Amino acid sequence: MARISYVDEARLADPELRLYMEQARRFGTPRPETQAIRSHVPAVAKAFSRAWERIFRQGILEHSLKELCRVYVSKTIDCNY
């Protein structure tokens, strides 16, 4: 049984956090569930999301390296990526 709750998005007052939750739902990455956990600590959610935006969405990281990261994560959690 999970012991870490998800933040209720309806209770998020910060528009930046709400935007990150919406993007997670729309794109599927980062997973909305993990964003809802990070949002317990707004500074953590913002720092993570800002880095994610710069690295993965704005293309600072080469596509081939992004794919390697995805494969690594999927293997680590036994996902059938």
The pair of three-digit structure tokens given for residue 30, joined into one six-digit string:
């980062």
Question: Residue 75: what pLDDT?
Answer: 87
Under 8 Å between Cβ of 52 and 30: yes
Confidence label for 1 from pLDDT (cuts 50, 70 and 90): low
Does any domain span residue 29? yes
Under 8 Å between Cβ of 14 and 42: yes
Does any domain span residue 68? yes
- What are the pLDDT digits (tens) for 12-63? 999 999 999 999 999 998 999 999 999 999 999 999 999 999 888 887 778 8
> Per-residue pLDDT for 81 more than 70?
no
Provide the number of structural domains found in the chain: 1
How many helices (H) and strands (E) are present in the chain, helices listed first? Answer: 4, 0
What domain range includes position 35?
10-76
